[in-house]
Every structure is written in structure tokens, then in C-alpha cells.
Structure 1
Amino acid sequence: MTDATAHKFNSHAEFEAHLRDCLGRARVSLTMFDPDFSVFPLGSSETDALLRQFLAGGGAMRLAMHRSEHIERHYPRFVRLLREFNHRIEVRATPRSLHHLTDSFCIADGIHIVRRFHSDHMRGEAAFDAPAATELSQERFGGIWVEAVSTLHPTTTGL
């Protein structure tokens, strides 16, 4: 189904539904930014299954965040996924100079996006099969990625 219109959302349940849809559509790349990923269901069994399927199929994932503590403490499934697919997942932390950034998004294959306008609120939009809708967030992520440093290593030594 091709649906290039934006779907507005205002609740956590709607956000999660659109995010699952976005993850399920991903084939090649997933690009995500959030200050701490605390509202992303990265610890759920359903998200774990979607990400495993994506990564096992050859997909690559890049996450950028301000702080990784929430993932480390609350998402053991994701940490395990990181260990198992460390060659396909890269996680970076932003420097303090970028901690003022408060938007949040997930981009799949450069054509699907789920975006919250501010990380403190659930208000946002999702667009599928809409490359133009992802352009601004992709550019923003590129700038964030260049400034960020590696974090969330699969082992204590980072190897």
C-alpha cells in the first residue's frame, strides 16, 4: 500500500503503532534520534522481533542520543540485540553542545518517517512512502552523527 500522506498522532499508543509500522517497512536502513529513547519501545518483544528480522535480512541501524542510561538500564533485549548484531548497529552519543536538540524521529530507508516534534510530548506525525517528508530529518541526523561519539559498546571493552 502506498500512502504518502502525513498521519498526525497525539498519544503514546499512536506513536508506538506508527513506529512499529515504520520498523516493519524497513529493509536497508534505520536512522533514529531521540534524547534518551525512553518512549521508544526498544525493550518490547514485538520491537525486538521486528529489529531482529530487519538486521538478519542485512539491514543497518544507526541511533544517536544524548544519554544512553535509559537503554542500558531498561532495555536488556536491545542490549542483547546490540551484542548479537554489533556489526549492523552503531550507537552514538551527542556532545553537550547538542543537548538542546529535542526532536525525535525514526527514518526507514529514507522514505518512511515517524517524528515527534518535541521529545517531551507525544504530538507528531508519520509519513510512509514519502521521501520528501524525511529530507529535513535526514539532514539534521547527518549533522548530529558527525558531532556524536560512539557509545553503548557490546562489551565492556568496546570490542
Structure 2
Amino acid sequence: MEQSVAHRFSTHLEFGARFRECIARSQATLQLFDPDFRVFPLGLADVDAALRHFLTGGGSIQLAMHRSEHIERSYPRFVRLLRDFNHQIECRATGSGLRHLTDSFCIGDGVHIVRRFHSDHMRGEAAFDTPAATEISAERFSGIWLEARPCLSPTTTGL
């Protein structure tokens, strides 16, 4: 029986470190959900390098969100990453029926998770190499993904 060791965090710095650790430990999939990804360090050079390394190794990324405007305006590195690896990154936006969801998480390979309990606060926890810790969020992500529609096209024409 596996024992989950939760690494709690309550600051932006701690969250960023755990998010980077999740990327580094993952090889095949990253599934992320956040209302707008404002607190995710997607625009920073080191995260861009880590994601490029992950994608170059054959990984894939799925981002689900309520609104994509913040990524489009504030994360040009991520938009470039989307363009460079558009066959490995898929972004979807939720409809109005899911806008009440306020949690925030990143699941890596179905065994690592970094999650904030509410998107308005930094308080959360991370667990690594613990599939059981990801189960509830993975189920939520699957439901969100099915209900959401494509967004964040890699080109201005959406092609």
C-alpha cells in the first residue's frame, strides 16, 4: 500500500518550486487546470526551458481554463511554445456551466500533483510518485476536458 507524503505550501515561491518539480518529474503527460493561470509561472524562461525539454522528450500538455486572455497577453513565451509544439499542446476553455470551479492543479503522468485548494489563495499541497493522490483531480480534469472547447490557437488564423 502506497503512502502519500503531502508537501504543503502557502506562498507563491513554494508553489512555483513544486510546479517546477512536477514538470521535472514528468515524462509523458501534464494536465493543468486553473481559471486563468495567473499564478502559474508559464511566462518565465526557466519554466519555458523545462516545458521545452519535456515536450522534446515526447511529452504532451493539456491546459483547461475558464479564460485564456491572461496567457495570451502576459505569457508570450508560452504562446511561442504553443506554436512550436502545437501538435503536443492542447488548450481548452470551459463553458459557463463550469465557471464555478475554483480549484487549481497540475497532474504529471498521473502520479504527481501540485494543487491549490482555491485559485484565489496560494495554500495547497504537492505529492509525487503517488497515484492515489491524483485520482480525484484526474477525474475532475477528465470531466472538465470533455465539457471544454478548444482555445489558444497557435496562429492568429487558428490554423
Match of 2:53 in 1: 53
Give deviations 1:101-150, integer Å, cap 9, x for gaps: 00000000000000000000000000000000000000000000000000
| 1:89 pairs with 2:89 | yes
Match of 2:124 in 1: 124
Q: % of aligned pairs identical?
A: 69
Paired residue secondary structure (2:102): coil
Match of 2:30 in 1: 30
Match of 2:154 in 1: 154
Structure 1 unpaired stretches of 5+:
none
Divergent runs of 4+, >3 A: none
Paired residue secondary structure (2:70): helix
**Aligned residue type for 2:34:** D
Alpha-carbon RMSD across the aligned residues, in angstroms, is 0.9
Q: Normalising by structure 1, what TM-score? A: 0.97
Provide the rounded CA distance (Å) in 2 between the counterparts of 1:84 and 1:19.
22
1:33-112, aligned counterparts within 5 Å? Answer: 33-112=33-112
Give deviations 1:47-90, integer Å, cap 9, x for gaps: 00000000011000000000000000000000000000000000
Aligned residue pair count: 157
Provide the rounded CA distance (Å) in 1 between the counterparts of 2:113 and 2:60.
16
Structure 1 position 156, deviation (Å): 1.6
Provide the rounded CA distance (Å) in 1 between the counterparts of 2:25 and 2:95.
31
Give deviations 1:17-62, integer Å, cap 9, x for gaps: 0000001111000000000000000000010000000001100000
Structure 1 position 4, deviation (Å): 4.0
1:135-150, aligned counterparts within 5 Å? Answer: 135-150=135-150
Structure 2 unpaired stretches of 5+:
none
Paired residue secondary structure (2:67): coil
Provide the rounded CA distance (Å) in 1 between the counterparts of 2:4 and 2:84.
34
Give deviations 1:2-22, integer Å, cap 9, x for gaps: x94100111111000000000
